[in-house]
Chain A
């Protein structure tokens, strides 16, 4: 009985109930109360992202077909009982391909964001801490990178080092790191001016030690919020590269690549091969933006 009332209490009666004993029942109840206080779009977006992540992890188990199995008899078929979201021109099952593609499409942006964060945070902190010519150098370089069209820069790197997913990840990481460096520099400058930093300096603590042990932990929340907010944009950048043919290569079912392959079918009157991965990209990016805005608000990243 207690479990039932704990999981679905009538809103008006909740306060009248005795406090349930500590344990999983209460954890569930407070958890649910939290979820209920969330705004609806955030809840939906978070649920969608959770679902996408689980689906990507479990893709081999839940995908109805082999994502690479070619069946030319069922080329560009609309959804039916066998292919829930239809097939592409080669007759590959779109649902299975999108599920498997979620792995590449989520992991690649995550990896590149982490690389960009490591570079950007290091440079931003260095610039803010050292000041002087170090700051001037880092700031001018980031300014130049800002002025340079990002995509052009990425394509340039790929032209030099050859295409492929790894090159694309590295190139995008380099392209996004100035953005993170600039943000880190600005919040590190204001944090650096706080008296506790000087208090450590007058104790003779080394600059590196202060940055790593005191400055960065105090920036972590704001940086995390900022990175979550950036994820959608980075995912879009990654799929764009794949769409242009510079990122993931066939037979991968990365979403951007799927859109590229599917667009030929549009001419033949088959919308599904491009629509399915396109929708997946759009929904994921929107969901990340909704979640990102709230998370960064909560972590104080946007008030700065």
Chain B
């Protein structure tokens, strides 16, 4: 037969071709080691599918610790700067490929989860609208808090999202890069969910403004988000060290400011104001926060902080970064306290004592999960007091 095959004949199904192929196939497999990446050290007992599909996909030379390649870069930036370099961060690692997403999510698993959330969101919104829940939302909460301030908070999420772009470009490991892209996407998802909620409300409530104009005005010119805006801008564009971007965003700013705004303000208060729509979206954001926390604590605590060779140095650096970013985060939260003056006070819910209790929860969580592991000494009571001074 001719060896030139056309007309769409397929080797698997065409008997004539298949016979030639099968005659050439070895009688038994030539290699017994069938596990891809068998040479690597798994995080658990065995190499899992995430590790097979992600680990060592980065072709870095061995002078970037963890790399399996050798030699120089085949093309560099104009002027000779290397494609990737150890100098892109002040952090040091004996293996930049050591990070693992604790949930071991490769792309297919990641999008599967988010796709389900999208389908469920669609079903929920239909049920919510048909049930008429929107009638029970307090008008001030709905029009001012959700219309203006939740919308403005969307810019916080969008700004943090953008801070991941240079991380995705510059970071030194494959699993780091994939995780950073995913937690970045979650942030823009948060911003989009906020806009989705506002668009949804505009469909149900005649006159509710769908436009981003007023929220943007609030974000860029208002006092409530002034500290947050300046903080986000500096994480996004004024910081060049990719580890510092991730650390300032996910180990300081978001676990304190983001957590307070999402969990302690919008989610906790919303039901008191008749709003059971916002918690639906915030809960998704909190899921992403939780997943991100798993990722970034693995990066900074499990890998960098516990690095056999550089752990002490890295922890010292993280403490220095905490000194730099914590006061700015506290200041952002202090500015945010002005929001309470815009809503009707509910005793035990949105009064000073309740706010203080919420702040104590956030700072205690942060101390336990983020400060203590790097041995960062912090007086949370003093921080709470500073923040409360922003109450009008």
Q: Do the two chains bind? A: no
